Amino acid sequence: MSWLYLFLVVGAALAIGRIVFQLKKLREQPVDDWDAKLIERMRRGGADPFRPVDVDFFLAMPSETAASHVAQSLTGEGFRVDVRPVADSAEQPFSVHAVKSMHLNADGIRAVSVRLREVAVGQGGRYDGWTAGRASEG
């Protein structure tokens, strides 16, 4: 009977070791980073990383009141903001479009995305992502 327990303990240890090894291997794989990929694609397309670009951020909000509150908050943080009704969305019928001139770097975009996600969720909405336009003058 003691050999059976020893065999089970060794088998469990091997299984746990294999799981730990696989998790470590997964952690070392490069992260699929949508922001960095989009920025790299834009740079290959001619965007100058040393010039600010107008970056458009989008949030979906459940009410005009929530959208106005978010717009006011973002205006105070240096964004140019407009709010529009969205006819084909019953769940989030208002869209907040926020524009900020900034350099195209993944860390900066991620930081703004985290902030906008917090603002949107705080008002019952959602953050829908970003895109970038042409370089800003100046």
Same domain as 118, residue 60 = yes
User: How many separate domains does the chain show?
Assistant: 2
Identify whether residues 123 and 81 lie together within a single domain.
Answer: yes
Q: How does pLDDT run along the chain (138 residues), one tens digit per residue?
A: 688 878 788 888 888 888 887 877 766 655 557 888 888 888 888 888 788 999 999 999 999 999 999 999 999 999 999 999 988 877 899 999 999 999 888 889 999 999 999 999 999 999 999 998 755 444
> Tell me, what DSSP letter sits at residue 14?
H
Buried b (16+ CB within 10 A) or exposed e, 4-15: eeeeeeeeeeee
**Same domain for 48 and 105:** yes
Q: Is 66 exposed, middle or buried (0-12, 13-18, 19+ CB in 10 A)?
A: buried
82 with 26, same domain: the answer is: no
- DSSP E strands in 1-138: the ranges are 53-61, 80-85, 94-102, 126-135
Which residue segment(s) compose the domain that 128 sits in? 35-135
State the Cα–Cα distance between residues 14 and 68, nearest whole angstrom: 57
